[in-house]
Amino acid sequence: MRQNAANWLEVADRVHKFRRDQLTDSQNQRLAGATTAVKLRLREKADASKLKLAVESLEGVLRDTGGRIYPQSSLVENVEFFLVAAIVILGLRAYFIQPFKIPTNSMWPSYYGMTAEVFKPGQEPGPLARLARLVTLGASNYTVAAPADGEVMVPVFRYGRSFAVAFSQKAGRSLGVFPTLMREYTFLVGGQQAKVTVPADFQGEFEQVLDEAFKGGSSSFYAVLQQSLARAGELERSTFMLTDGAQPVERTVYWVPIGRMVRKGEPLMSFDILTGDLLFVDRLTYNFIQPKVGSGFVFKTGNIRSPEMQDASGAQISQYYVKRLVGTPGDTLEIKAPVLYRNGKPIEGSDAFGKNARREGKYPGYTNDGAARALSDGVMASDGMLPPGGTVKVPPNSFFALGDNSPRSKDSRYWGFVPEKDVVGRPLFIYFPLTSRWGPAR
């Protein structure tokens, strides 16, 4: 009852401070008298019954004088609660901790981007298993059914001496809410189309899905395509409008039969896309100390001026990236595959450096071979800022960033230096998915 009385006195104090200029003299006197009565009962350590009477008298006065402060409707209370919660969350995000999603596998295996699990016919997960995988792994299932009986045909276009599976890029929604880019792939079965749409950031991993789903016998899917393209003059062809960003391009595509026969309703492919690591980023620390070589660090790309940091329409890419810091102002860097050298010595400061140098486990080693770094969508990497036998020196107020998955990372080798002012923070904690990687970020 004493705690209850103290709470009522807080409400009375708010009404007095916010509304005394709006109340009549009589109302102000009644409010002051009822408030004093409760305070006296508290000082006297009156029993619960006397204190209850004083509180009930004060509550009656507050009903007459409280206006919008008292009594409050449940709607007002809820709005106030969520407003305060939103302010707190925005404050934490702006100054302390920011959630971040790893979209690609440029930092794999330190951090995972989107990965795939391909299911063999008859092994697709049921509804309950899909729900469990969604909750624990963030897995979204994609199953493409054959629209007719026949052989699967894949549209392929040439670029230079190589080739790629044709796709169209379009706007979509992530989690049904957030705008994102998607890639739509089209296949033919019995002259009818079967389509699958996946996130654009999933492009590299989707090649592995195609390989597992469509490979013929001991040959890889891409070996089958290469063999078929050797007789391109015999293949059916059509005009295909490829879109990448805002630039539609008309290409001739070859419809390549891959030797896979299916019946109507059978799955052409069934796979799960497992979400990339979701982690919290510490935004506070780097306001007081300089980032150290070896640290994972998150930065904004809006001020990195490079053709490699532009989308298909020529607009500047403005996103958050996560890479590993390998060079600070004044450092000289060189790659002698698989080792990264800093100021003439093998770089130190992170376990990932040593594991890459030894090509230990899943770490592939550092490379500066443009041919080895061909991007998954067919764009060949230039030798960039660290060509074979070359070095680069980091200028003032800048950093050099590389991905741990060097052959599959688009990083400072392509688009140059990270401005010091655009560093956001360091990865702090992986909070999803619920796997062995859950916990403090490496």
Residue (of 139, 147, 97, 136) closest to 116 by Cα position: 139
Q: Would you say residue 203 lies in a domain?
A: yes
Q: Would you say residue 70 lies in a domain?
A: no
Judgement on whether residues 120 and 250 belong to the same structural domain of the protein: yes
CA distance 168 to 41: 77
Q: Would you say residue 92 lies in a domain?
A: no
Q: What is the mean pLDDT of residues 384-408?
A: 91
% of the chain with per-residue pLDDT over 90: 55
Q: What is the mean pLDDT of residues 390-419?
A: 94
Judgement on whether residues 171 and 191 belong to the same structural domain of the protein: yes
Single pTM value for the model: 0.71
Residue (of 326, 320, 324, 327) closest to 303 by Cα position: 320
Judgement on whether residues 138 and 204 belong to the same structural domain of the protein: yes
| Cβ 184 vs Cβ 195: under 8 Å | yes
Judgement on whether residues 37 and 160 belong to the same structural domain of the protein: no
CA angle 187, 375, 318 (to 5 degrees): 100
Judgement on whether residues 213 and 262 belong to the same structural domain of the protein: yes
CA distance 303 to 442: 27
Q: Would you say residue 134 lies in a domain?
A: yes
Judgement on whether residues 203 and 291 belong to the same structural domain of the protein: no
- In DSSP notation, 360-386 reads -TT-------TGGG--TTSPPPP-TTS
| Cβ 418 vs Cβ 304: under 8 Å | yes
* Length reported for the chain: 442
CA distance 281 to 90: 14
Which SS3 state, helix, strand or coil, does residue 337 take?
coil
Judgement on whether residues 218 and 332 belong to the same structural domain of the protein: no
Which pLDDT does position 91 carry in this prediction? 84
Judgement on whether residues 326 and 182 belong to the same structural domain of the protein: no
Which tokens sit at 250? 């008309």
- Final residue belonging to a domain, choices 274, 293, 308: 274
- Final residue belonging to a domain, choices 23, 46, 65: 65
Q: What is the mean pLDDT of residues 264-270?
A: 91
| Cβ 258 vs Cβ 225: under 8 Å | yes
Count of structural domains within the chain: 3
Judgement on whether residues 432 and 286 belong to the same structural domain of the protein: yes
Higher-confidence residue: 370 or 128?
Answer: 128
Q: Would you say residue 93 lies in a domain?
A: no
Q: Would you say residue 86 lies in a domain?
A: no
pLDDT in tens, 113-143: 999 999 988 888 899 999 999 999 999 999 9
Q: Is the pLDDT of residue 182 over 70?
A: yes
Judgement on whether residues 377 and 426 belong to the same structural domain of the protein: yes
CA distance 404 to 110: 7
Which pLDDT does position 391 carry in this prediction? 92
pLDDT band at 381 (very low <50, low <70, confident <90, very high): very low
Range(s) of the domain holding residue 264: 115-274
Which SS3 state, helix, strand or coil, does residue 161 take?
coil
Judgement on whether residues 27 and 163 belong to the same structural domain of the protein: no
- Which stretch, 123-127, 218-222, 242-246, 358-362, has highest mean pLDDT? 358-362
Helix (H) or strand (E) segment spanning residue 155: strand 150-159
| Cβ 116 vs Cβ 209: under 8 Å | yes
Which pLDDT does position 216 carry in this prediction? 60
- Final residue belonging to a domain, choices 218, 244, 274: 274
Which pLDDT does position 378 carry in this prediction? 37
- In DSSP notation, 133-171 reads HHHHH-EEEEEEE-SSSEEEEEEEEEETTEEEE--EEEE
Q: Is the pLDDT of residue 271 over 90?
A: yes
CA distance 35 to 16: 10
Is the C-alpha dihedral spanning 359, 363, 366, 367 positive or negative? positive
Q: Would you say residue 99 lies in a domain?
A: no
Which pLDDT does position 380 carry in this prediction? 35
Judgement on whether residues 261 and 120 belong to the same structural domain of the protein: yes
